Structure 1
Amino acid sequence: MSSSDIFISETIGTAVLLLMGGGVVAAVTFKRSKAFNAGWVAIAFGWGFAVLSGAYIAAKSGAHLNPAVTLGLAVKGGIEWSQVPVYFGGELLGGMIGASLMWIAYYGQFRAHLTDPEVLAAHRQNGHEGMVYERTAPKAGPVLGIFSTGPEIRNVAQNLATEIIATIVLVLAILNLGLSDDGKGVSWGGALIVALVVVGIGLSLGGPTGYAINPARDLGPRIVHALLPLPNKGGSDWGYAWIPVVGPLIGGALAGGIYQVAFA
């Protein structure tokens, strides 16, 4: 497969992942949404279905959709190291495109939310907006949680460890149960398994940090949040932004190493 095929496939698949994943968070967060206050279980299953949809769409390239998965496969030996930057580039661009499309789909809700005096007053008083998927980050704006993750308790060591542990679970499941016959990506049947694993991670390990487990899923939308002309959007919390990038990458690499030692 050519580099351009990989790049295009990963871009489109990751865009769908972020469109649907960010979309479920927006749906649960906004008062003017029919899914308002549906809760964390809806978010966890929404992200699982988002992974499933993106994986089927990006089947041609192996449906990595996640630099941590790409890195884990490279460490395992499933893909060539020269292909890693191509996957990374498509995943990051896809994350940005998906977040932008989500903003378009919920444009009216964003404007209503960010101009609601009650929302703005609560955000100014508490340092965070306090609705579903919003986090106690002093430099995070009132809708940043729709785009990116943030911790409930801001502790660098714990937050980093949580992302590493959760990503190891994800990538080990992919390497052991979800790979295609050529070992270069997720199989058709494996995509369903991976989606269910993502739901499980969200329900069991998502509470502390919002389970980024994917650098492109967090960094791409965070960049979009910083660039979009949203009124009263607040900060993008760049002080925290390295954790959902570095943590999953460490977790992906460790999972690849664990697989080589324990399962190969």
Structure 2
Amino acid sequence: MEKYIGEFLGTMVLIAFGTGFGSSISLKHALSKNMSPSFLTVIFAWGFAVMCGVYVAGFFETGGHLNPAVTIAFALGGLFDWSMVAGYIIAQILGAFTGAAIVVLHYYPHFQATTAEEGNSVGIFATGPAIPNTTFNFLSEVIATFFFIFVLLLMNTAGFAVGLAPVVVAFLVMAIGLSFGSTTGYAINPARDFGPRLAYALLPIPNKGGANWGYAWIPIVGPTVGATLAVFLFKALGMG
């Protein structure tokens, strides 16, 4: 149970920090909205959010997955017990939902002051495509997650010091974001997208827009496929 709690808390921190930043640059009267942050700022914000989440989960010795794609990949690669996969994924989704709910509570007056057209949109909490194209949006998530998981699997065998690993993972996430993130917002994590999207849809957020459920399957299925392909290559090369 302790490991599930660790995954819950780590994912909660990841999403609270990540979507908290999204709220601060999107909602009216939030001070950061006046800064006109660049895409690079967004990349760094999410990278640091991942780092903090992995450190929290690391206290509970969970492996710091925070991501169903990572959990599934490690299980497929023989690096994680299949009996714990479902529990990890449930904990990650619940943690993501809770992190988003905390952000809604924190910024509630700002949501009240902001209409959907002014920035009160699902984009604060979940990913979406710059150019809607089902095939290429799906491929973008597959490709980004493939590289993320493949490098992560190699890192897992490299034996980084425990205290250094979250920093390295954070820079990996930033590298993925810089290289592949501008097309779909690089979910590369089904829980990171589904949990906050569900929170946005269910919670009584004033003036909100739609949750764009028609797109929601892509950041779930795409990362799962990408992770699976990365494991197949990892094992085919005799690395696992």
- Name the TM-score class by shorter chain: over 0.9
Partner of 1:111: 112
- Partner residue of 1:205? 180
The answer to whether structure 1 residue 165 and structure 2 residue 165 are counterparts is no
Distance change in 2, residues 1:47/1:207 (3 Å): same
Contact 2:68 2:92 in 1 (8 A): yes
Q: Secondary structure at the match of 2:132?
A: coil
Q: Report the alpha carbon displacement of residue 6 of structure 1 after superposing the two structures with TM.
A: 1.8
Q: Residue 127 of structure 2 contacts residue 185 of structure 2 at CA under 8 Å; is this kept in 1? A: yes
Deviation of 1:51 after TM superposition, in Å, equals: 0.3
What is the identity, as a one-letter code, of the residue corresponding to 2:95? G
Q: Residue 188 of structure 1 corresponds to which residue in structure 2?
A: 163
Q: Are the aligned partners of 1:6 and 1:86 in contact in 2 as well (CA < 8 Å)?
A: no
Structure-2 change in CA distance of 1:78 and 1:223 (3 Å) = same
Q: Pick closer, same or farther for the CA change 1:149–1:11 going to 2, 3 Å.
A: same
Q: Deviations over 1:220-247 (max 9, x none)?
A: 0011011111222121111110000000
- TM-score with structure 2 length normalisation? 0.92
Query: 5+ unaligned residues in a row in structure 2: which ranges?
Result: none
1:76 counterpart residue number = 77
- What do residues 121-157 of structure 1 show as CA deviations (whole Å, max 9, x unaligned)? xx3xxxxx5x6xxxxxxxxxx4100010111111111
Match of 1:33 among 22, 30, 33: 30
- Percent of aligned pairs with the same amino acid: 42
* Larger CA deviation: 45-54 vs 245-254: 245-254
**Using the alignment, how far apart are the partners of 1:69 and 1:257 within structure 2?**
14
* SS at structure 2 position matched to 1:103: helix
SS of 2:204's partner is coil
For 1:153, the equivalent position in structure 2 comes to 131
Tell me which amino acid in the other structure corresponds to 2:125. Answer: F
Matched, 1:251 2:229: no
Compared with structure 1, are the counterparts of its residues 180 and 67 closer, same or farther at alpha carbon in structure 2 (3 Å cutoff)? farther
Whether the 8 Å contact between 1:62 and 1:180 is mirrored in structure 2 is: no
Residues 17-71 of structure 1 show CA distances to partners (whole Å, capped at 9, x for unaligned) of 0000111111122231222221211111000000000000001211100000001
Which ranges of 4 or more aligned residues in structure 1 deviate by more than 2 Å? 178-181
For 2:217, the equivalent position in structure 1 comes to 242
CA distance in 2, matches of 1:89, 1:179: 26
**Alpha-carbon shift at residue 180 of structure 1 (Å):** 8.3
Aligned partner of residue 58 in structure 1, secondary structure: helix
* Alignment partner of 1:8 out of 5, 8, 11: 5
Deviation at residue 80 of structure 1 after TM alignment: 1.3
Q: Distance in 1 between matches of 2:108 and 2:150?
A: 38
Computed over aligned residues only, the root mean square deviation of the Cα atoms, in angstroms, reads 1.8
C-alpha change, 1:169 and 1:187, in structure 2 (3 Å) is: farther
**1:137-191: CA deviation from partner (whole Å, max 9, x where unpaired):** xxxxx4100010111111111001000111111111211114686x9xx943221
1:161 touches 1:247 (CA, 8 Å); kept in 2? yes
CA–CA distance in structure 2, aligned partners of residues 179 and 149 of structure 1: 31
Using the alignment, how far apart are the partners of 2:158 and 2:62 within structure 1? Answer: 11
Q: How far, CA to CA, are the matches of 1:210 and 1:254 in structure 2?
A: 21
Letter of the structure 2 residue corresponding to residue 104 of structure 1: L
1:96 equivalenced with 2:74 (yes/no): no
Q: How many residues align?
A: 235
CA gap 1:30/1:39 in 2 versus in 1, 3 angstroms: farther
Moved more, 49-58 or 79-88: 79-88
